[in-house]
Each structure stands twice: as C-alpha cells, then as structure tokens.
Structure 1
Amino acid sequence: MQVLKFGGTSVANAENISKVISIVQAAAQKDTTVVVVSALGGVTDLLLNAAALAAEGNETYKEKLVTIEQRHMDAVKQLIPVASQSQLLSLVKKSCNEIEDICSGIFLLGELTARSRDRIGSYGEWLSSQIIAAAFRAQGTAAEWKDSRELITTNSAFTHAEVDFSVTNTKIAAFFTGDYSRLFILPGFIAADKNNITTTLGRGGSDYTAAILASALQADVLEIWTDVSGMMTADPRLTGNARIIPSITYQEAMELSHFGAKVIYPPTIQPVMNKGIPVWIKNTFAPQDPGTLIESSAARNGDIVRGISSINNIALLSLEGSGMVGIPGFSKRLFEALSSEKINVILITQSSSEHSICVAVDAASAARAKQAVDAAFANEIALQKVDPLLIESDLSIVALVGESMKSHPGISGRMFSAMGRNGVNVRAIAQGSSEKNISAVIATRDVRKAINVLHEEFFETTYKQVNLFIAGTGNVGAKLIGQLQQQAAVLSQRLRLQVRVAGLSNSRHRLIKEEGIDLGKWREELEAGQPADIDQFVSEAIARNLRNSIFVDVTANEKVASVYDKLLQKSISVVACNKIAASSAYENYQRLKELAGEFNSRFLFETNVGAGLPIIGTLNDLTHSGDRVRRIDAVLSGTLNFVFNHYDGSRPFAEVVRQAQDEGYTEPDPRLDLSGTDVMRKIMILAREAGENMEMEQITNNSFLPASCNEGSVEDFYKALAKEEPHFRALYEEAKAKGCILKFVACFDQGSASVGLRHIDPAHDLYHLYGKDNIVLFYTDRYTDQPMVVKGAGAGAAVTASGVFADIIRACKL
C-alpha cells in the first residue's frame, strides 16, 4: 500500500494533471495506490476571496466565481473525451451553482461564519478530485473516487479541525477492506464532524489528509509530490545557493515545517512518525530527481545544521514590570489571555530577573493580543506594577534546525557571529533543551541577508560572497576594477571568495546591480546609469542590505569621505584610498574607528600612506604587539621624490613636475603634493596610528614653494613655477655643493611632527631612494639603533589599486 499526495501546483491545470496521471500510472503498477489531491492551483484562494468579498457586500465576488467555474470547465474539456464530458460538466456546473447560492446568502447576511468558510473552501478539492478520477478512467485506468468526508471525522471545530483518530482509523480500515480496485482518488483538506458537517484541516491540509490515510492503512510509503525536488537547506527564493537535503529525520522535518518550510504542512509528520512510515518529497515536474526522504534516522553527510528556515510577519509582545519579580502566576495569566483569543504563541523567552516575558505571535493577532493582555493585567497596570503590553512589529524569525547541533558546541556562537558581522540585530532568542532548533527574532528587512550569511556559514564551503560598492572610477579606480576582474578566478580558488562589484559611482553616473556588474563592460553599464549622487548611492547600497558589503572610496572627494559613518553604522566596512577622513579632525578620525569596532565592520586606509606599501599595517603590527614608536623618519611623497630625483638643473623644475603629473604620480592639483600638505596628512595619520592625538595645525611645514605658486589655477601654478626657476635651481645647487641630494622628509619625534626639504648625504638611510619610491623608518623600543624599514614604490595607479585590493581582502576576513 502506498499513498501519494499531489499539491495545487501539481494539479493546477490539464497539462499538469496529465503529468500526475503518468506518475500515478507508473506507481500503481507496483502496489495498491491511494492518491490525495489538492484543489486546482489558486482555486482555494479564489473561493475564500469570493466569500470574503461577499461578506463585505462587494459584488465583484461574482467575477471570482466565473473564473472558478471556467477553470474547472476548461480542465474537463481538455482532459475528458467529448463523448464523456456531459456528466462531469453537469457536476461542475451544479457545484458552481451551489457555491454561488452560498455566496449569495453570505452577501445578503453580510457575515462569513467559520462554518460557511469551510463549506466554501471544500469545493476546490472536491471538484479537482472528481475531475482527476474521471481523467484516469478516460485513459483506461480504473480509479475509484472516494469522498474524504466519509472517512476523516473531526471534533466540532472549523478551519483547523481536530481529527478524531479512533473514529477515523476505524472508518478507513473498514473502507479499505474488500475487493477494491488498485487505485483510489480522494480530495485532500476536507473532512466532516460527527454530525456530517463539512470541516477543513487548515491551509495545506491535503498533506495531513494523506498522512492520516497512510498511518491508518500502515502504508509502506507516503509520497508528497510538489513543485520542488525536496526539502532544501534554505528558501531558494532567498538564497540562490540552497540545495536539496537528501535525507532528514521526522523531528528535523517537523521543526523546519513549523518554521516556514512550505514544502510540507506541519501536522503531516506526526501520524507517519508514530508508525515509522517513510515520507518522500518529490517533484511532479522532475520525477526523476531523487527528492528528500524523511524517516526516523538520516545520513549526516557532514552537515551539523540540517536547514535554515524563517517565519515572516511576526510581532514581539513584551510584558514588563518590577511587580512581576518573584510573584508566581504572571506567565500563566499571560498565556491564558492569549489562549482565550485563540492566539498561537510561536516563540517564548523570559529574562532570569523575571522582570519581563517576551513572546512572538503572528502580526495579524498583535492588536487582539494587546487588548486581551492589557485587560487581564488592568489592575497591575493601573498600580504601575506592570507596563501595558509592548508590541514590536515588522519582525521575522530565523531558525537553524538540526539534530546534530546538540553534540557540537559553538553552533549558537557561529550563528550570532555571522549575523553580527553583517549588522543583523537579534531582538530575541529561543533554544529548546533538545538543541534541535535555535531561533532568533530579527527585523524583516534583514531576513534575506541573515539567511544568506547563515547558509554561507553552515553550508557553503566553496566561497564567501562579497559585495563591493566602489566610488571613483578614475586612474586608480579603473586599475582596481581591472585587477578584480583579473584575479576573480584566483580569489575563488585560493581564498574561496566571490567578489562582486555591486555598485559603481563616479562624478557623472551611479549604478547598482545586486547580481553584480559585468567588469568587462563596466564603463558602458555605468554610462547608462543614473545621475551621480553620492548620498543616494550610499542610501541605495544600505537599502539593498547585501551580505558582506564593503564600500571602497578611491576618490579624493570630501563629500564621499563624509558618508563613512553612515556605512559603518550599518556594518558595511569602508576601504578608503581617500585621505580626507583619516586626516580630518582627530575627533572624527577616532569616531570612525570606534564605529567600526562597535558595529563589527572595518575602517581600512592602508593606501593613505605609501600607496601599496604595507606601512600602516606594519605600524599596527608593532603597536598591537606592545611595541612603542619613538620616532618616524619618512619620505612619503612619491611625487616629490620623483621630482627631486629627476631635477638636476638641466631642464626646468616646472617641466619635471609636469612629467610627474602626466605619469599619474601627482594629485589632480600638484600643489597638494609640492606644498607639503599631502605629506603633512600622511605623517599625521602615522602619528595617530602610533597612538598620538594630533591635528594638522600641530605639524610644522617648512615649505620650499614660493608664495606666488599657490595662487590661481593649475595652469597659473605652472606659469609661476617657470618664473621661480632660479629659486629651485638655487635649492639644488646648495645641496649639490654639500655632496647631498634633496629629499622632502616627514618626521615624527616624541609627539611632534614636521615636514620639509632636507639635505641627505650618501651615508643616510634615505639617500638611496629612486624614482617614485617611498621609505619609512620606524624607531621603536624594539628597533632602536637599526630601524624597521618599509621601502618601495609609493605612487602610481597600479600599486595604489593593489593596496586598495589588499585592504578589501583584509575586510573580507572579518
């Protein structure tokens, strides 16, 4: 004996029903088969909507009835030969007339009772099962139709009627004894009470009907045929990496079904679990797929967590008050008040101080819950011993399910750490002593992100997905994008990172694509994007709420630097090539670092000093390991080093500076480099990272640039440089006369800092520094006589982009 159940999608139309017939015909060759069917897809909703509209006095309910009748008529005409249609069409018409009469009565009374609701709702399964049974017979397969209301008896309740198993089992056993055909078709969902009044088993109740039959008949197997190939590790609509669970225990399936896994109706498991009947979840549209097997034990396959599920539209109810402490009975009264309103409690948590009790309920019940609870505690509320019931809405529950969790410490820690790293705030937590389920209440807007990060944490050993939002697509930005494209395969293979550029913005356009921007066509896609607006770009990035998000600033724009705090507070890490934030007022610099720590994000700016050189990282390693920086000597401007390495008096100083700009070593306005302002920022950042509270005005700038060069436009600047050529030649000649070269040196020494041109003799560590190279000498408690030296290319788009890239990888490892 086998029982097969087909859901609404499986029997949505004639084409799908033909697939069902093929599946059943193959199965029925092996054994006596009982088939339970749902209503044609969407029909139950149409019926209940029509009834609700009628109760509201809205005559558009008649349009719903016309649609219902037409769908059933079409199914008959497509499945049944013309010569055999008349009797079945007459049955459909008669039933639709009955539905219309009931709705007309509801319309006149202006009331939809639970009894009428169940009666209306029952017609979907009743009609579909009649049509499907006739379709089998039309294809030459003997099929006997049986009304489930004659077999399944409930106690007198509606919409979620309780089954009387003793009576039901007796009726089923009596019917299935005797010389019957090998194929039976029954409607799911519907039943009758002891007075033969139609009741229903709740939405999704066809699964339950099939389980009741399988249990009473001691069936060898129960198959639930639906539109997916089994139970999945997570909702595939929320994560594209969800996978089929090959096998699962009854208890795990029950937990997942209660927490939002729509593949199986929650009460279905209990009847078959008691009898040890295996359950298969199969796909009507891919019958060759193995599906999911539910039984008493299941192979682990290395997965500690079996699945991740969620329930949306949750409200959190909190009863709080100092008058509750040490006084027994408050919980009892709370749950009695909720029970009196037939409000189901989904999650419970209570503080050990007994100051508060928190429960989660369906959001639709929250208003009734507040009214009932406030009434129950009216006296305590009046005496201010208890506060009025507090309701928090727009919440959901995310749950980890798995029997193996109980023997593996740290699962809760991993769960909450993964969500915390992505800014998912947990409002309440519940875990049973069986440790099969860990549930957390979170904001509904965070559900997609939470499920994705948890799925990544517990199921995806292949890669971690990272989403970048890049501001700035100039020289450095373009090089960075090229490097990301070039290294995509390496990141996936070696670091198991899938780095996607989800957003791009420059001074003209902005673009955000959740699925990722094609890095081979980013210029064209960005050009077709929306007008540039950094505030809007950031707001959209935050609103997308993508997991493992990183904001990358490769601009020199003050407006862009001003948005870091908004991002960090949303647990979006910031990687900044832009020096403005780290060199802004110390209070702002410190606040950004504190926000990163507070909200589990990273604020990284390695390229602020030395482009791609690991200067800040080295400094942090020294200080974090307990060393103390006493002095820093550094050449920190690739531009100035390039200029003074190439200026020998044989050609004008202005020409050498122009060359540096053309080769991409200077800022857009070279005066930021030549004035020493950029170097001042860099030495201040290093001083701050060494633990010094320093501002720009505390740094001495011994500028070599004449005042005339600081006026007007960039072109005016070059004209002034040309006029001041004697000044620059004199600087060079003075150094040369001493056997020295010129270097623009930054120095931090015991709390004070300065920048300026210095004569460097051949014995000095800074002498052998060529091209655009930078060098930093760290003198510390551990490196006293011989400093720690970091030296290398300190300018250029490619090396700067590589430094930004390295920071991105560091942020990924959070």
Structure 2
Amino acid sequence: MSALRINIVLFGIGNVGGSLIQQVLESQHFFQEKYNIELRFPIITNSSLAFFEKEGLANTWEANFAQSAIPFRVEDIIEYTTNQGLENLIAVDATNSPDIVKSYISLIQNGFNIVAANKTANILHHDFYTEIRRNLKKFDKDYLYEANISAGLPILNTIKELHFSGEKITKIRGVFSSSLSYIFNRFGNEDIPFSKIIEDAEKLGYTKIDSREDLSGNAVAEKLVILAREIEHKAELKEVQIMPLLIPTLNETHTKSAYKNNKNLLDKPYRIAKLTQNENHVLRYVGEFDIESEKIEVKLISVPVNSALGQLQDTENLIEIYTKTNSKNPIIIQGTGSGKEIAARAILKDILKISNNIKQKETIWL
C-alpha cells in the first residue's frame, strides 16, 4: 500500500522552522517504513514570502526559497491548496507572530489541521480560544501545541490526560523558563553579581538580547494561562498576579541603553534576597496556579536546596502537579525544555500524532 501523503504548510522558516525541515528530511525514510506516511512541505513561508513546491522540499530548499519565493497572503495559500487538490493538510505555525493566528479559523474551515509553537492563539481572550475549538469540532480537525510550554517535556499531554481521566488537579507549580532557570541556578551556586549572570545569559542566547522581556515574567504568565485553560478554567492573562524581576529604578520604562548600562542596580536587592533567606535555601522564579483558590501567580520564592526545585541545574525546567491522590508527593516533570532542535522535535511529534489520526479516519471510511 502506498504511503499516506501529509501536506505541511510551514509558516516560519527561522531557527525552529528550519530545524523542523531538516529533521523531516533526515527521517523521511524512517517515517515511511515505520508509519507508512510521507511528510511533504508543498509550501514554506517567512513573514512576507512563500515558496511553492509541488514535489515537496529537497536539501536545497534554502537556495530555492531565496531564488523563487514570492509575496503571499494566507488566502493565496488556501486557494493554492484547493486548486492543487492537496489533502491531509497541516498548517505549522513556527512563528512568534500574532498575524498568522488571525487566520487559524479560516485555515481550519478550509481543511487544515494546525500544529503551533506560537502561544498567541491560546492566550488571547477566552472567546477566541473557545471559537477555535468550536470550529475544530465542527470541521473535525486537530490543533496541537505541545511546544507552547517547555517544548522538550510532555507537560500539556500529562495535564490533559490527568484532567480528562477524572483526576482532580489541585495545584500546578514550577520553573517554566529556561532562561530564568539558568540565572537563578547560577545565582544560587556561585558568588557572582546578579547582573553579570544576566549578561552571560544574554550572550549565550538564553534570554532575548534585551533580557527585560524575560525578567518581566510575562512569558511565565502566558504558560500558566494555557495550562489553566487546558483543565477548563476560563483564565485570562490580565488575571495573573506577576511579580516582575525588574525594579522601579530599572524596568521597561527605561531606554535600552539605560538598561544595558545600569544592570548593576539589580545586584543589591538580589544580594539581599539571597543573604536573608533561610540557610540551605535557594531562590527560584516560579509560576503557580492554585486551582482551589483560582489564584495564578508568577513570583520569586525561596526553597530548600534539597527539594526538587532546589536541585535544578543549568537551564532545566521542572513542573510539579499536585492532585487529590498526590497531594503530598506531586507528579514531577523535569528536563531541558528549550532550544530550536527541541522545539522542532515537539512540533514533529504533534505532526505525527495528527498524521496517525488522519490514517485512522481513512481506515474507518474504508
């Protein structure tokens, strides 16, 4: 029997998107032998240009894109896939842009399943969140996004499986940011100024070039909202109580140059926080959702060195899931959660899940 052809339209060919293409090309033969599927990329895009390839991508895709990509709209892509009779469609959003999210519903209505690293669709107003899922049900399509949270770890799937098996989740707490994990792991283990560690994190690419985006706590808040919604709480981003790591004398209101040249202002308050905590404790920046009180917080806490959170290393993420049957000893998911290859692999896993769902549906119809 010939392999089932899965047509992937990839939005975003940057670090994550490029890694995804490479992983698929390297494993294409394996997927055909193991799953009897062929993953193809008939269309790939960056923010403004699209490359259309009827036969799918080859190892020369970067050069071909540079030579032949043309301006596009999402409507053009939908029209092209319809005219070409392409089936088994998956739109992969490997961007950070809110623009493509505006087209999710239209894509679903025109035959696309969706896989996303982009968190935007899951943190907008709950009405939009609900409308996407209404259309998914109506058109019998899938939308997967394990890469939204600590891409290398099975957090979303675990949370959903627990919840929909009837297990009562009482609290979710953890370190969701690889960049902030690195900063506080080093700060706890080394006698070094806080600002120096931030500068190192910027140079290593663990934070954005302007690390204030990481220190604001907003990214952690977004992940908490996604998790809350996965267990059917109508959480909104504005409801999250965020304790930013920035200080009034150095925050988002200052210029980039002022922030760059005055990071040392952060040293004293964090030195004090470090010295005044209990003995054999370390600082950790966590996100916490207490389901019973419906309180969602992003905050700096002090934990024992020998605790699960206290023993984190490097850029590790760790999530604790407290349930009615695991109230004292939470389920712990721990490991490296970031990096372009890791995010691409998480996307690929979701693509394979949807591909398997498509195969099962075809078998039923046969």
TM-score (norm 1): 0.41
Query: Is the 8 Å Cα contact of residues 40 and 57 (structure 2) preserved in structure 1?
Result: yes
Partner of 1:522: 61
1:563 corresponds to 2:103: yes
- Give the whole-Å Cα distance in 2 for the aligned partners of 1:807 and 1:703: 33
Identity of aligned residues (%): 26
- Give the whole-Å Cα distance in 2 for the aligned partners of 1:474 and 1:502: 17
Q: Which amino acid aligns with 2:109?
A: Q
Which residue, out of 617, 623, 635, partners 2:157?
617
1:721 corresponds to 2:260: no
Taking a change above 3 Å as real, the CA distance of residues 717 and 553 of structure 1, as seen in their structure-2 partners, is farther
Taking a change above 3 Å as real, the CA distance of residues 745 and 579 of structure 1, as seen in their structure-2 partners, is same
1:706 corresponds to 2:247: yes
Taking a change above 3 Å as real, the CA distance of residues 572 and 720 of structure 1, as seen in their structure-2 partners, is farther
Taking a change above 3 Å as real, the CA distance of residues 715 and 592 of structure 1, as seen in their structure-2 partners, is farther
Deviation at 1:695?
Answer: 0.4
Partner of 2:308: 765
Deviation at 1:776?
Answer: 1.2
Query: Is the 8 Å Cα contact of residues 246 and 266 (structure 2) preserved in structure 1?
Result: no
Partner of 1:653: 194
- Give the whole-Å Cα distance in 2 for the aligned partners of 1:540 and 1:661: 42
Question: SS of 1:573's equivalent?
Answer: strand
Alignment of 1:778-793 (within 5 A): 778-793=321-336
1:591 corresponds to 2:134: no
Deviation at 1:507?
Answer: 2.8
Deviation at 1:517?
Answer: 1.8
Query: Is the 8 Å Cα contact of residues 631 and 778 (structure 1) preserved in structure 2?
Result: yes
Q: Which amino acid aligns with 1:609?
A: I
Query: Is the 8 Å Cα contact of residues 654 and 718 (structure 1) preserved in structure 2?
Result: no
Partner of 1:747: 288
User: Structure 2: which 5+ runs fail to align?
Assistant: 358-366
Query: Is the 8 Å Cα contact of residues 52 and 69 (structure 2) preserved in structure 1?
Result: no
- Give the whole-Å Cα distance in 2 for the aligned partners of 1:508 and 1:795: 26
Query: Alpha-carbon deviations, 1:513-535, whole Å to 9, x = none?
Result: 122122x1121111123345453
Count of paired positions: 352
Taking a change above 3 Å as real, the CA distance of residues 506 and 766 of structure 1, as seen in their structure-2 partners, is same
- Give the whole-Å Cα distance in 2 for the aligned partners of 1:680 and 1:591: 22
Query: Alpha-carbon deviations, 1:140-168, whole Å to 9, x = none?
Result: xxxxxxxxxxxxxxxxxxxxxxxxxxxxx
Question: SS of 2:309's equivalent?
Answer: coil
The Cα RMSD (Å) is 2.1
Deviation at 1:537?
Answer: 5.6
- Give the whole-Å Cα distance in 1 for the aligned partners of 2:257 and 2:24: 36
Alignment of 1:295-306 (within 5 A): none
Q: Which amino acid aligns with 2:326?
A: Y
Q: Which amino acid aligns with 1:615?
A: I
Partner of 2:274: 732
Deviation at 1:643?
Answer: 1.3
Partner of 1:629: 169
Taking a change above 3 Å as real, the CA distance of residues 571 and 734 of structure 1, as seen in their structure-2 partners, is farther
Query: Alpha-carbon deviations, 1:536-572, whole Å to 9, x = none?
Result: 5644555444111111111111112221111111220
Query: Is the 8 Å Cα contact of residues 571 and 596 (structure 1) preserved in structure 2?
Result: no
Query: Is the 8 Å Cα contact of residues 507 and 532 (structure 1) preserved in structure 2?
Result: no
- Give the whole-Å Cα distance in 2 for the aligned partners of 1:662 and 1:531: 34
Deviation at 1:682?
Answer: 0.3
Deviation at 1:808?
Answer: 1.0
Deviation at 1:730?
Answer: 2.9
- Give the whole-Å Cα distance in 2 for the aligned partners of 1:477 and 1:643: 27
Query: Alpha-carbon deviations, 1:34-59, whole Å to 9, x = none?
Result: xxxxxxxxxxxxxxxxxxxxxxxxxx
Deviation at 1:662?
Answer: 3.9
Query: Alpha-carbon deviations, 1:471-530, whole Å to 9, x = none?
Result: 112221222121111111111111111001111111353212122122x11211111233
- Give the whole-Å Cα distance in 1 for the aligned partners of 2:91 and 2:255: 32
Question: SS of 1:574's equivalent?
Answer: strand
Query: Alpha-carbon deviations, 1:619-678, whole Å to 9, x = none?
Result: 111122222211111111111101111235644434433433444433465333211000
Query: Is the 8 Å Cα contact of residues 309 and 318 (structure 2) preserved in structure 1?
Result: yes
Which residue, out of 331, 335, 343, partners 1:800?
343
Question: SS of 2:327's equivalent?
Answer: coil
Q: Which amino acid aligns with 1:483?
A: Q
Question: SS of 1:758's equivalent?
Answer: strand
Partner of 2:364: none
Partner of 1:677: 218
- Give the whole-Å Cα distance in 1 for the aligned partners of 2:28 and 2:20: 12
Query: Is the 8 Å Cα contact of residues 287 and 297 (structure 2) preserved in structure 1?
Result: yes
Deviation at 1:732?
Answer: 3.1
Question: SS of 1:647's equivalent?
Answer: helix
Query: Alpha-carbon deviations, 1:420-466, whole Å to 9, x = none?
Result: xxxxxxxxxxxxxxxxxxxxxxxxxxxxxxxxxxxxxxxxx342111
Taking a change above 3 Å as real, the CA distance of residues 767 and 650 of structure 1, as seen in their structure-2 partners, is closer
- Give the whole-Å Cα distance in 2 for the aligned partners of 1:532 and 1:730: 54
Partner of 2:360: none
- Give the whole-Å Cα distance in 1 for the aligned partners of 2:272 and 2:9: 48
- Give the whole-Å Cα distance in 2 for the aligned partners of 1:761 and 1:633: 15
Q: Which amino acid aligns with 2:136?
A: A
